[in-house]
Amino acid sequence: NPLRGDWFQSPTERINPANVVERHAGIMVWGAIGYDFRSSLLVILGTLTAQRYVSDVLRLCVLPLLRQHPGTIFQQDNIHPHTARVATNCLRHVEVLPWPARSPDRSPIEHVWDQLRRQLRPSANLQDLKGHYNYNRCETVT
């Protein structure tokens, strides 16, 4: 379900469906670039928790990519799923470039995301969004 609910109630009140406000859970697109390679794009539906980041991104995408390209230094920003203990433990044998606070210009992929944002038009649905990318494949994680 692409929607999640927020509700507002007193501690003693039962959840009343009339108080539930539904909103879109969100879509995140993850990708990686290197000197002479790029990853497939990974579309993540819903909230990215630290555990989901480890299981769906690091173990399935990052670690295999780093094994294919020895000597690569990994870089990520400081959002909570990236800095959580479970994620840092997963990357303990990987060289990770530290990310200073408030410094998006330190990451070359930010320029790629900027170009993608400029080229994309609003999408009606996930398939439409995936169709805009000129990549070999685009996988979805729910």
Quickly name the fold that domain 2-11+23-129 has. Nucleotidyltransferase; domain 5 (3.30.420)
Domain boundaries, the chain: 2-11+23-129
Burial 9-47 (b: 16+ CB within 10 A, else e): eeeeeeeeeeeeeeeeeeeeebbbebeeeebebbbbebe
Tens-digit pLDDT profile for residues 12-48: 666 666 665 555 557 788 999 998 999 988 888 888 9
Looking at the chain, the whole-number percentage of residues with pLDDT higher than 90 is 37
Q: Are 52 and 35 in contact (CB under 8 A)?
A: no
- Quick check: 10 pLDDT over 50? yes
pLDDT band at 84 (very low <50, low <70, confident <90, very high): very high
DSSP per position, 58-78: IIIIIHHHHHHSTTPPEE---
Q: How many CB atoms lie within 10 A of CB 117?
A: 8
Does this model's pTM top 0.85? My answer is no
DSSP per position, 9-35: --TTSPPPGGGEEEEE--EEEE--B-S
Q: Which pair of structure tokens corresponds to residue 33?
A: 């670039």
CA angle (142, 106, 42) in 5-degree steps: 15
Q: Which residue is associated with the tokens 């039962």?
A: 14
